[in-house]
Structure formats: C-alpha cells, structure tokens
Amino acid sequence: MKTRVLIVDDEEEFVQALSERLTMRDYDVTTSLRGEDAVEKVRDYNFDVVVLDVSMPGMNGVETLREVKKLKPLTEVIMLTGHATVDSAIDGMKLGALDYLIKPCETEELITKINKAHDRKAEHEERIRDAKVKDIISSPRAALK
Amino acid sequence: MSGGLYAVSESSLQFFGAMTASISHEINNVLAIINENAGLLEDFTLMADKGVPIDPERLKTLAGKIMTQIRRADKIIKKMNKFAHSVDGPIKRVNLGDLIELVVALSNRFASMRGITLEVKHPPNPVIITTNVFFLENLLWLCLDLAMDVTGPDKKVTLSVETAGIGGVIRFSGLEDAHGRMSNIAGNDGLLGALKGKLDIDLETRDISVTLPSDINN
C-alpha cells in the first residue's frame, strides 16, 4: 500500500511541484493550501504523514498540528519552516510533530523523514493491534461486549 | 543614552529585525519553489535516461515557473535594498507616496498572515518632505501594525497621503475599534518627537493620522 501523504502549504507552486515529485516516487499525495482545509481532509481521510508549513495565513502550522493530533493522534507530522520560524517548528515538536525541515529542503532528506514517519505510525498501529489481540485472548467475554 | 533615545533605538532595532526576518522568509519561500521545480527537471532527465520521453511543453512550463520565481525574488531584493538604504544619511527629502508604498510592500506578508488587504491611495500631486526616513518607516509600521489589529469587517486598511499646510499627513483608514489601543503608539513619544510629528485618532471617521512637518530641520 502506498504511503498516504498530505502536503499543507500556502505557496501553491511549492505544493504542486513537491506533490508531483512525491507522486513520481510512488506516494499517494493530497494537497492543501490552508490549515482549515487540511484539518477537514484529515478528518475525512486516514493519512500516514502530514507535511505541514509552519507559517500560513488563517490557521497557522502549530494550530493545524494541534487539530490534526486531536483528530488522528497516530498520524505523523513533519513541520516545514523558514529560518525565521524554527522556534515555532520546535514548539510543534513539543506538541507531537515527529520532526521538522528548513525550507528549501533536500527532497531526499524529506523522503527519508516521510518514510521514517510512516514506519513509526505503522509500528504504533501494530502495537495497538497486538494489544487488542492480547485483550481478546485474555478476556474473550469482554471482547464480545 | 537618555531614556527616550534608548526607547527609539530599541524600537528601531525591533522594526529592522522584524522586517529583515519577514524578507528572509519570503526569499526562503521563493528558493523552496525554485528548488522543487529544478528537482522536477532533474527527475525528468533521470526518467529520460531510462527511456521515458520528455514532453517539451512540460519543460517550457517548468522553466517559466522558475523565471516567475526569479522575478519575484528580484522584487523582494529590490525592496530589501531600498529598505536597507533608508538608514543612509538619516535626514532626506522623501516622497511620502513612495514611502508608504515601501512600508506596504514590507508589511504585505504580515497583512496576508492576518487575512488583511492593504491599499495605497496617492494624492493628485506628490507630497515631498524632509525627514528622518528610517524613523518615519518605523512609526508608520507601528501605526499599520495597530491598524491591522483593529481593522473593520472588510479586513482592509487604506493608507493615504494628503497635504497639510506646508507638511504632509499619512492616514490609516478602514479601522473599527481603535479606541483604547492608541496607547501602544501614543506612548512612543520618542519616535514622534524625533520626527516632530503629531499623531491623531478620529473616533468618528475611525482613522489614525500622522502629521509631519515639511522640513524636520526647521
């Protein structure tokens, strides 16, 4: 199954080009130009990784991250930032973002981080599945309730 | 350094820092777009090496996108250069219309982040005064920052230049709730004093105006 990535950035040309490059590398890419729209997309669809710009009009990156984590705690978030907003990206990591990258970034570095984020989410999901299975085995009646 | 002068220096440094940080962010965005489009070109050449034909129209579109960003960067750098030279020989003759254009260009990113549009209205004839250009830019930024905080439902702040006696007036209109917030700027007596200017708030017309003498040396 392809890794499902949501790119969120108000710079449309950046989003288009990055989306095309990731699609060529076999990622399932969705794009969004605003934090509010990204939150709606996260609500409706199960992304593995969100690549999120820190500095956007309206709902900014950190606010968007909060909403994403509320809706889908297992979805991993990588923050994109300029030099002037690195502090916000670090705040984002305190709020649950996995990592951050400074624009302009090397595509290979972004891909490495996306893959790492995907693996981490898959690992979390597997642990949750294992815990549920153990729960069912130890208490089958509870599972039937 | 006296308290007033210290306050002006601190305000000026904060202003300079905020503007250069914003400009660096704009340049970063341009570089990021060029970087991804150049990366796409590289991807196409790698695919061509594997026998996938390249569509010349696609290459033309990508080259066009890169050129557009280069022109965008050129505008940003020109703006930065003009701003940096504001501190050369501090007291100069300046066309207030040109000055508010520069302040608006520097502030557009801040406005866009708040969902606000900035509009400039020029007078029929240029209003030229002799003043401390950098201090005036700083004061106008402080006024604009406040105006953006108290803008009305249209989310638009209009900056206009008018002649006042032998000086000039810069007006910020389209405001909604300026009352009680003026202390932020009114407290900045250092800048106003250095510019020999006067700041007024009109609660009826809901605007802020800065009146300046024609020559700061007189």
CA-angle at A125, arms to A120 and A128, nearest 5°: 130
Return the pLDDT at A112. Answer: 96
Nearest to B40 among A20, A85, A105 (CB): A20
Instruction: Report the pLDDT averaged over residues A128-134.
Output: 87
Number of H helices, E strands in chain B: 6, 7
Task: State the pairing for strand pair A49-53/A4-8.
Answer: parallel
Which chain B residue is nearest to residue A19, measuring alpha carbons? B36
Radius of gyration, alpha carbons of chain B: 22
Return the pLDDT at A91. Answer: 85
Is B160's Cβ below 8 Å from some Cβ in A?
A: no
pLDDT in tens, B133-161: 999 999 999 999 989 988 888 899 999 99
Return the pLDDT at A129. Answer: 87
Return the pLDDT at B6. Answer: 63
pLDDT in tens, A69-128: 999 999 999 999 877 677 887 888 889 999 999 889 888 999 999 999 999 999 988 888
Distance CA B163, CA A88 (A): 43
Q: Going by C-beta distance under 8 Å and a sequence separation of 6 or more, which residues neighbour residue A110?
A: A18, A51, A78, A101
Return the pLDDT at A143. Answer: 59
Contact across the interface for B36 and A84, Cβ inside 8 Å: no
Task: State the pairing for strand pair B117-121/B91-95.
Answer: unpaired
- DSSP structure class, residue A106: -
Which chain B residue is nearest to residue A15, measuring alpha carbons? B33
Which chain B residue is nearest to residue A59, measuring alpha carbons? B113
Number of Cβ atoms within 10 Å of the Cβ of A125: 12
Distance CA A90, CA A100 (A): 8
Return the pLDDT at B9. Answer: 76
Q: Chunk chain B into consecutive blocks of 10 residues (it has 218) and report each block's average pLDDT, rounded to whole numbers.
A: 63 90 92 95 93 91 95 95 88 94 95 94 93 94 91 91 89 78 63 90 85 92
Mutating which of A8, A13, A56, A100 best tests the B interface, going by the most B Cβ atoms within 10 A? A13
Residue B120, helix vs strand vs coil: strand
Q: Can the peptide bond before residue B123 be classed as cis, meaning omega within 30 degrees of 0?
A: no
Return the pLDDT at B188. Answer: 65
Task: State the pairing for strand pair B167-173/B198-202.
Answer: unpaired
pLDDT in tens, A9-68: 999 999 999 999 999 999 999 999 999 999 999 999 999 999 999 989 989 999 999 999
